[in-house]
Amino acid sequence: MKHLFIVNPVAGSTDKTSFVHEKAAECFAVREDKYEVYTTKAPMDARDEIVRQARLGETLRVYACGGDGTLNECVCGAVEAENVQLTVFPTGTGNDFIKTFGPDSHRFFELRELVDGDVRPIDLIRCNGRPCLNICSVGIDARIGTQVHKYSSLPLIGGATGYVVSTLVNLIKGIKQHVRISSCGGTVYDGDLTLACACNGRYYGGGFNPVPEARPDDGLIDFLIIPGVSRAKFICLVGQYAKGKYASYPQLIRHVKAQRMEIESEREIVINVDGEAMYAKRIDIGIQPGAVAFTFPSQMAFFVSQIEENKV
């Protein structure tokens, strides 16, 4: 087996290339497996490098060293090859996907735990064909998230303030857009939409946890739909949405578990796909069960507890 570390040098506050080199050298000093540290040079360079190395034929374990955007690029490469295993050695700021695995998520920061870990198949969302491992969303939160960098780069703003500014600007622009949502050939919703999200994982946006019970290994997507609401109601509701309290607001937040859902809009709509922006008038969101061979630290409580529940 070859171990390939894909490092995004602009993820997080500083370039972690030297750090990854150091940790990999320590870990493989007593192992016979080959390893390589590759630093990306452009968007989707991670995907292309994984595809190139996968063509060589040997089993390849890829370590996404960055944040959730880096992980998504690696997913785009890994899903195309049966001989590729994927994991994440986080060096970014958000690292939302691994938060899904609860108290054990800290174990992803220990490289030896990943090198000696267990490989499990997990599901993948396809959003208009693009792989999405964690969460994709449309509506006000997608607009806010995809425009944060535009405001963060302005003088005297930056950082978390950019998120606040993006939120205020998009609230002023309006938080409703007419859509038609369907599943299995039937209409689920037809009207003004404030927000819809499709969850394979549990966290996004640096701490939002809309569906605390979502699992990336159950063959289903957890969809939440918030119809068009006023700005005042949205401001009151968004905190509860972020805490996963959707069940307390059945009149305002609809929960649907399904394998596929389609969203149609007369105007182009922005889609947040694992933190990356896409634009379309028609959005096809579906699950691809067990599509990714993902490496986890051994005996994670997240999976052990599920096994025990199934026995009962």
CB count in 10 Å sphere of residue 10 = 12
Q: What pLDDT shows up at residue 207?
A: 80
And the tokens for 183? 């599943």
And the tokens for 98? 């691994």
And the tokens for 4? 């390939």
Tens of pLDDT, residue by residue over 80-114, are 899 999 999 999 877 899 999 999 999 999 999 99
And the tokens for 288? 């691809």
Report domain 2-117+297-311's class. alpha beta
Residue with tokens 């997507």: 221
Report domain 132-289's class. mainly beta
So where are the chain's domains?
A: 2-117+297-311, 132-289
Q: What pLDDT shows up at residue 154?
A: 62
Give the Cα separation of 297 and 123 in Å (integer): 18
Across the chain, what does the average pLDDT equal? Answer: 91
- Dihedral (Cα; 107, 112, 118, 122), 10-degree rounding: 50
Tens of pLDDT, residue by residue over 265-295, are 999 999 999 988 899 999 999 999 999 999 9
Strands (E), the chain: 2-7, 34-39, 60-65, 84-88, 118-127, 130-132, 135-139, 177-183, 186-199, 221-227, 254-258, 260-273, 276-296
The confidence band for 312, taking pLDDT boundaries of 50, 70 and 90, is very low
Task: Decide if pLDDT at 160 tops 70.
Answer: no
Tens of pLDDT, residue by residue over 199-240, are 999 998 878 899 999 999 999 999 999 999 999 999 899 899
Cβ 87 vs Cβ 267: under 8 Å: no
Q: What pLDDT shows up at residue 307?
A: 47
CA 45 → CA 4, 6, 7, 223, 278, distances in Å? 14, 9, 10, 31, 18
For residues 12-30, give the mean pLDDT. 94
Q: What pLDDT shows up at residue 185?
A: 81
For residues 39-46, give the mean pLDDT. 95
* Percent of the chain residues topping a pLDDT of 90: 75
Give the Cα separation of 300 and 116 in Å (integer): 13
Task: Decide if pLDDT at 158 tops 50.
Answer: yes
